[in-house]
């Protein structure tokens, strides 16, 4: 046999396959449990294919997740287990293989073991595939290209996880930690990012991350994308593939540098030990700090106590893992160093040394501004006057930081809060982002925001999805009640469609800031069905598929009424069996609403007002809100349909509740 | 030829091997002895190309061993803590070895299998410790090694099998000039087989010599005089140990055995016996005076 600088050993590869082929067979079966088997078993009930195909091909089935997470990690565990035990590492490395051959041959074997289940399942699906339509619109979702896409993305994601698991294996000498790190590393970047942003969110008023950065961070883990039900794009698939290959070479560098006597050690490289220790301490600090803060009703002291205890306990745990002994107290010096670094870190953020909170962009260089708009594919405000309004609104938030923060941190606050975001985009494409969680009252009463909201430009940009509806492309509209499950009213006439959509847009344009801020319950939904919906790609490109409207959409409702459509879907007092109202106060929370048997009418009591009067029911249907403006002292309305057709909840605040309800409870309390 | 030059190795902050030198000549057997924790297995794992040294060189036939596929294919290694691929029989292991060791000798394998009377189809995990050692020995010898590294090879073997093992090793050393390094706690067995001996203590090679030379350089003397012992005797001999039992003096003396006998004859003793020392005794007396923990070394 000739010796040459080879990176691959065929006998090793063959022997590995002989030893571990069963794993591949097992995962072939697991994958089949999610797609192929349910499909052939339900072949007589083709209606269920839609769900099976959609869930499986989008990697949302548990079998997919089990495969993508566990198969690569388990295969790495089996192939590289020899590195984590003294006797096996000695014998295997004494065999006539170089480390390069061991790594690359195992890598190729692993790859084959992982890819085989995907290929087999892909072939099985291709064999049984036939047109399966995703309901309405008629889109075939069980196509060859969809199956191939599933196979390619499954392969690349598992290859990515496989490469990460190998890297994890190289840095630890423990089989258990090899698995823990293998899985943990997949989520490491998003997890660390989340942990760090906790501090910025907590201590920096207005802290915000640009969507782009957030997207990049999330993209570092394909499994996070999948678990958050997002699609893994083709571009990302290509990136994962390249990164996976690069990781292989990084792993080789680690393997080459590894001292094999570190088998059974928790971490095989000394320079990683402090990183591991401090990372664990940092995560422990964050988790317990947040937990203590929640336990203690946002009390800062509790948070600091949590920081201290969390970091101390986590640091000791990390030391126990590293030293493999419970007697780690002599290493406390390292913890003191951590405490100093953590203190400086929190101090730097908390005192806002860099002036992040007060910093505002120079409007002269700003090209567009987004206020409460997700800027993806949208245009921002560009009119200088409107940009100035946005700027002033933003400045007013900063100027009122103390009041807003006090309300935010106060456990006694009954104000409902919402997020307000600002993105200033410069001509060079750079962005300035801020995001605040502030009380609704401040937003509602802010003069700059009122002016801005009521400008045509803001409305056009804020509701750009609605204003950009291609009326020519609409096939028909399907209008339904928001709460009652009855067949929709169909509008097919193209002129009527255009007319209604235009009126809906006019209603939006005439909406005042006050109307925008009330929370009137939606009474109907217009479902948009496009002519181009039969085209798969175009369907997903459509920005909007439904429009909800409440009683303050006057022009829309008038038109529906005048054309005789309103009565077809409108919920009236005739549909309602009864309503009950409870007054919710801090004393009787948590809510224990009356549900019971919907058909039997409850009795009015001092705590429960039962409404059966048609006029009163009608008034409530028009005015009930989707949520209470304040968190305490509000009214909860339970609305029950006749004939067991369902029920829903509505709310009133003290300011909006009808007099007859307020009087009822006032009399009860006398 | 196995050569270790100035080898040093630390595990974390503790030095395990310190500036260590070792030479196993072609066609010779080298016995490595030392107490538990002396660094024997660490040294062996360097020689088999498993551990990476901090400093120094480990060479076999003048080539570095670490990550050297070619040299490793000529090293037979029997580890103290045996390991076989999970679920494998001896036959399966042999088949695997035949693919990865270019000098695999199937004929020898078959012969040795018959000699040791092992069931090659039985799962190796079902073998007793001694049988696993034999299986490991068959595999190591069938690759036709130029260097055989044995870490506690006879531990768990019965006397008959031990005899067979040593016989085969000696034959290969004689016929093929195989170099053998054997680490063992059994000094009696080492004495009968080794050409050279090295003693390792706390990572240092404290003694390394040819066994015959070592033996000819120290002896036990029983001597009795008519009357008092000559006063100048103490000065003329390098006495490592002295003990009086009645009128007989018992001494361990370092130096050329013939010269010592000649010198003592010149005093016309009533009784004179010059006896050779066993390996175990040599270590006790040779190194006891140097202040080493002899009891620890030879237990």
Q: What is the pLDDT of residues A38-57, one digit of tens each?
A: 988 887 766 778 888 888 99
Q: Are the beta carbons of B11 and A94 separated by less than 8 Å?
A: no
Q: Are residues A32 and A50 in the same domain?
A: yes
The verdict on residue A211 lying in a domain is no
Tell me whether domains B2-213 and B216-298 share a fold.
Answer: no
pLDDT band at B212 (very low <50, low <70, confident <90, very high): confident
pLDDT band at B297 (very low <50, low <70, confident <90, very high): very low
A199 domain-assigned = no
* Cβ contacts of A261 on chain B, cutoff 8 Å: 11, 42, 45, 51
The better pLDDT of the pair A650, A643 is held by A650
Q: Do B100 and A3 touch (CB under 8 A)?
A: no
Tell me: do A475 and A526 sit in the same domain. Answer: yes
CA dist., res. A234 & res. A236, Å (int):
5
Greatest mean pLDDT range, A309-318, A369-378, A487-496: A309-318
Contact across the interface for A15 and B85, Cβ inside 8 Å: yes
CA distance B82 to chain A (A): 7
- Confidence label for A559 from pLDDT (cuts 50, 70 and 90): very high
pLDDT at position A350 is 86
- pLDDT for res A240: 92
Q: Among the listed ranges A24-33, A331-340, A391-400, which one has the minimum average pLDDT value?
A: A331-340
Q: Are residues A63 and A37 in the same domain?
A: yes
Facing residue for B99 by CB, picked from A11, A93, A260: A11
Q: Is residue A202 part of a domain?
A: no
Tell me the domain boundaries of chain B. 2-213, 216-298
The confidence score (pLDDT) of residue B295 equals 44
Domain end (from A519, A542, A566): A566
More confident residue, A428 or A555: A555
Residue A213 domain flag: no
What ipTM was predicted for this assembly?
A: 0.87
The CATH number for B2-213, chosen from 3.40.50.300, 3.90.420.10, 3.30.300.130, 2.60.40.10, is: 3.40.50.300
pTM score: 0.80
**Count of domains in chain A?**
5
- A423 and A504 share a domain? no
Are A316 and A331 within one domain? yes
- For residue A133, is it within any domain? yes
Residues A39 and A159 in one domain: yes
If asked whether residues A229 and A311 sit together in one domain, one would say no
Q: Is the pLDDT of residue A644 over 90?
A: no
Nearest to A96 among B52, B82, B100 (CB): B100
Decide if A121 is inside a domain. yes
pLDDT over 60 (residue A594) = no
pLDDT digits (tens, 9 = 90+) for A206-229: 998 877 888 888 888 888 887 776
Domain that holds residue A149: 2-187+219-261
Instruction: Note whether A102 and A226 are same-domain residues.
Output: yes
For the cut 70, the answer to whether the pLDDT of residue B14 exceeds it is yes
CATH number of B216-298: 3.30.70
Q: Which of chain B's residues have a Cβ under 8 Å away from the Cβ of A86?
A: 81
Region A231-259 average pLDDT: 92
> Which of A235, A261, A287 represents a domain boundary (last residue)?
A261
Residues A485 and A621 in one domain: no
pLDDT at res. A72: 95
Lowest mean pLDDT among A382-386, B148-152, B252-256: B252-256
B129 interface with A at CB cutoff 8 Å? no
With 70 as the cut, is the pLDDT of residue A2 above it? no
Whether residue A169 sits in one domain with residue A109: yes
User: pLDDT by residue (tens digit) across A262-289?
Assistant: 999 999 999 999 999 999 999 999 999 9
Which residues of chain B from 27 to 46 reach within 8 Å of chain A, CB to CB? 42, 45
Q: What is the pLDDT of residue A530?
A: 82
Smallest Cα distance from A92 to chain B, Å = 9
Locate all alpha helices (DSSP H) within A172-299, ordered by sequence. 175-186, 188-203, 211-219, 222-227, 234-257, 272-295
Q: Indicate if the pLDDT at residue B90 is higher than 90.
A: yes
Q: Which residues of B touch A95 (CB under 8 A)?
A: 72, 100
Give the confidence band of B192 by pLDDT, cuts at 50, 70, 90: confident
Distance CA B81, CA A91 (A): 9
| Interchain pair B52, A259: CB under 8 A | yes
Q: What is the pLDDT of residue A537?
A: 53
pLDDT averaged over every residue in chain A:
88
What chain A residue is nearest to B73 in terms of C-alpha separation?
A96
Considering the domain boundaries, does residue A433 fall inside one?
A: yes
Burial of A228 (0-12, 13-18, 19+ CB in 10 A): exposed
CB pairs under 8 A between A and B: 75
Residue A118 pLDDT greater than 60, yes or no: yes
Look at B188 and A618; give whichever has higher pLDDT.
A618
Domain boundary among the residues A307, A325, A350 is at A350
The 3-state secondary structure of A614-649, one letter per residue: HHHHHHHHHHCECCCCECCCEEEEEEEEHHHCCEEE
The CA R_g of chain A, rounded to the nearest whole Å, is 31
Residues of B in contact with A92 (CB under 8 A): 83
pLDDT for residue B298 is more than 50: no
Say whether pLDDT at A162 is over 70.
Answer: yes
Is the pLDDT score of B245 beyond 90?
no
- Comparing alpha-carbon positions, the chain A residue that sits nearest to B69 is A96
Which one has a higher pLDDT value, A362 or A6? A362
- Which of the residue ranges A474-478, B162-166, B239-243 would you say has the lowest mean pLDDT? B239-243
Residues 6+ apart with CB under 8 A from A173: A83, A84, A262, A263, A264, A265, A266, A267, A268
- Condensed to tens digits (0 to 9), the pLDDT of residues A599-637 reads 677 777 778 899 999 999 999 999 999 887 777 778 999
pLDDT at position A60? 84
> Where residue A230 falls among pLDDT bands split at 50, 70, 90?
confident
Q: Which residues of A touch B85 (CB under 8 A)?
A: 15, 19
* The pLDDT value given to residue A586: 72
Q: Average pLDDT for residues B188-206, to the nearest whole number?
A: 88
Residues across chain B: 299
Contacts of A563 (CB under 8 A, 6+ apart): A496
Strand partners, B15: B10
Question: Where residue A538 falls among pLDDT bands split at 50, 70, 90?
Answer: low
Confidence (pLDDT) at A139: 72
The pLDDT score that the predictor gives to residue B296 is: 44
**Confidence (pLDDT) at B199:** 87
- Chain A interface residues facing chain B, Cβ-Cβ under 8 Å? 1, 3, 6, 9, 11-12, 14-15, 19, 85-101, 259-261, 270
Is A192 among the domain residues? no
Indicate the pLDDT class of residue A78, thresholds 50, 70 and 90.
very high
State the smallest CA–CA distance between residue A399 and chain B in angstroms. Answer: 57
- At B149, the pLDDT band (50, 70, 90 cuts) reads very high
Can you tell me the mean pLDDT for A505-528? 90
Long-range CB pairs of A133-142 (<8 Å, 24+ gap) are A133/A50, A134/A50, A134/A54, A135/A50, A136/A529, A137/A529, A137/A530, A137/A533, A137/A534, A137/A539, A138/A534, A139/A533, A139/A534, A139/A536, A139/A539, A140/A536, A141/A50, A141/A53, A141/A54, A141/A57, A141/A536, A142/A49, A142/A53, A142/A57
- Which of A1, A88, A260 has its CB closest to that of B83? A88
Same structural domain for residues A426 and A560?
Answer: no
One domain, residues A47 and A174: yes
Give whichever of A297-311, A433-447, B101-115 has the largest mean pLDDT.
Answer: B101-115
Look up residue A80 and give its two tokens.
């590289």
């Amino acid at each position: 046999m000739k010796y040459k600088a080879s990176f691959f050993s065929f006998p090793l590869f063959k022997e590995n396959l002989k030893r571990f082929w069963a794993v591949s067979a097992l995962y072939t079966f697991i994958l089949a449990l999610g797609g192929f088997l349910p499909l052939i078993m339900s072949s007589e009930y083709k209606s269920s294919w839609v769900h099976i195909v959609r869930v499986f091909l989008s990697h949302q089935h548990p079998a997919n997740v089990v495969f993508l997470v566990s198969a690569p990690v388990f295969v790495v565990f089996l192939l590289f287990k020899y590195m984590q035990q003294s006797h096996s590492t000695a014998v295997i490395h004494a065999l006539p293989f170089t480390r390069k051959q061991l790594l690359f041959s195992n890598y190729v074997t692993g790859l084959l073991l992982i890819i085989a289940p995907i290929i087999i399942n892909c072939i099985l699906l291709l064999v049984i595939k036939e047109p399966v339509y995703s309901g309405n619109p008629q889109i075939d979702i069980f196509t060859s290209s969809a199956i191939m896409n599933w196979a390619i993305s499954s392969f690349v994601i598992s290859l990515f996880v496989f490469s990460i698991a190998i890297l994890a294996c190289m840095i630890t000498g423990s089989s258990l930690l090899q698995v823990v790190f293998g899985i943990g590393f997949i989520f490491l970047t998003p997890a660390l990012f989340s942990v760090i942003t906790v501090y910025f969110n907590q201590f920096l008023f207005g802290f915000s991350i640009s969507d782009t950065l957030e997207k990049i961070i999330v993209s570092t883990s394909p499994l996070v994308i999948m678990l958050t039900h997002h699609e893994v794009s083709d571009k990302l698939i290509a990136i994962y593939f390249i990164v996976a290959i690069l990781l292989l070479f990084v792993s080789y560098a680690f393997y080459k540098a590894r001292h094999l006597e570190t088998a059974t050690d928790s971490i095989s490289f000394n320079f990683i030990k402090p990183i591991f220790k401090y990372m664990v301490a940092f995560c422990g600090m964050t988790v317990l700090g947040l937990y203590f803060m929640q336990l203690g009703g946002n009390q800062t002291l509790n948070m600091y106590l949590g920081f201290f205890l969390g970091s101390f306990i986590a640091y000791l745990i990390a030391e126990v893992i590293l030293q493999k002994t419970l007697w780690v107290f002599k290493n406390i010096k390292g913890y003191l160093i951590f405490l100093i670094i953590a203190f400086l870190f929190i101090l730097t953020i908390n005192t806002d040394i860099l002036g992040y909170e007060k910093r505002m962009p120079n409007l002269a260089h700003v090209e567009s501004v987004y206020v409460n708009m997700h800027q993806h594919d949208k245009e921002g405000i560009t009119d200088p006057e409107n940009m100035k309004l946005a700027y002033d609104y933003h400045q007013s938030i900063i100027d009122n930081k103390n009041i807003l923060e006090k309300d935010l941190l106060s456990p006694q606050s009954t104000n409902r809060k919402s997020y307000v975001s600002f993105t200033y985009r410069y001509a060079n494409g750079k962005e300035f982002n801020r995001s605040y969680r502030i009380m609704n009252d401040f937003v509602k009463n802010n003069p700059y925001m009122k002016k801005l909201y009521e400008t045509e430009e803001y409305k056009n940009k804020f509701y750009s999805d609605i204003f950009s509806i291609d009326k020519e492309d609409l096939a028909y509209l399907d209008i339904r009640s928001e709460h009652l499950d009855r067949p929709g009213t169909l509008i097919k006439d193209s002129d009527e469609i255009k007319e209604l959509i235009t009126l809906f847009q006019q209603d939006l344009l005439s909406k005042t800031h006050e109307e925008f801020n009330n929370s009137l319950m939606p009474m109907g939904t217009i479902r948009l069905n496009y002519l181009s919906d039969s085209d798969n790609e175009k369907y997903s490109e459509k920005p909007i598929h439904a429009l909800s409207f409440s009683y303050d959409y006057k022009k829309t409702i008038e038109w529906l009424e005048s054309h005789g459509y309103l009565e077809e879907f409108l919920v009236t007092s005739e549909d309602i069996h009864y309503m009950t109202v409870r007054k919710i106060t801090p004393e009787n929370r948590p809510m224990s609403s009356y549900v019971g048997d919907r058909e039997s009418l409850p009795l009015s009591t001092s705590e429960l007002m039962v409404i059966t009067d048609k006029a009163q029911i009608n008034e409530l249907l028009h005015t009930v809100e989707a949520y209470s403006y304040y968190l305490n002292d509000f009214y909860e309305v339970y609305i029950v349909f006749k004939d067991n057709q369902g029920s829903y909840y509505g709310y009133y605040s003290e300011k909006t509740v009808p007099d007859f309800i307020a009087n009822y409870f006032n009399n009860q309390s006398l | 030829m196995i050569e270790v030059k100035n080898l040093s190795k630390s595990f974390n902050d503790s030095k395990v091997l310190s500036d260590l030198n070792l030479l196993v000549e072609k066609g010779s057997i080298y016995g490595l002895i030392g107490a538990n924790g002396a660094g024997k297995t660490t040294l062996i794992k360097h020689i088999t190309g498993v551990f990476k040294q901090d400093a120094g060189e480990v060479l076999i036939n003048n080539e570095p061993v670490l990550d050297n596929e070619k040299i490793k294919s000529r090293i037979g290694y029997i580890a103290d803590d045996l390991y076989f691929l999970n679920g494998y029989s001896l036959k399966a292991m042999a088949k695997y070895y035949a693919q990865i060791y270019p000098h695999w000798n199937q004929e020898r394998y078959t012969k040795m299998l018959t000699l040791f009377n092992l069931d090659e189809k039985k799962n190796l995990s079902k073998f007793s410790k001694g049988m696993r050692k034999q299986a490991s020995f068959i595999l190591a010898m069938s690759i036709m090694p130029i260097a055989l590294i044995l870490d506690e090879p006879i531990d768990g073997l019965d006397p008959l099998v031990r005899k067979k093992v040593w016989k085969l090793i000696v034959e290969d050393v004689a016929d093929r000039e195989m170099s053998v390094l054997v680490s063992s706690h059994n000094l009696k067995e080492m004495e009968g087989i080794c050409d050279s001996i090295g003693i390792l203590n706390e990572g240092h090679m404290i003694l390394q010599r040819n066994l015959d030379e070592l033996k000819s350089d120290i002896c036990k003397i029983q001597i009795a005089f008519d009357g008092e012992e000559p006063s100048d005797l103490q000065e003329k001999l390098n006495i490592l140990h002295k003990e009086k039992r009645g009128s007989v003096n018992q001494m361990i003396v370092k130096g050329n055995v013939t010269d010592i006998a000649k010198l003592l004859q010149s005093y016309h003793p009533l009784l004179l016996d010059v006896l050779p020392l066993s390996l175990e005794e040599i270590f006790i007396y040779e190194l006891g005076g140097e202040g080493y923990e002899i009891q620890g070394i030879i237990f």
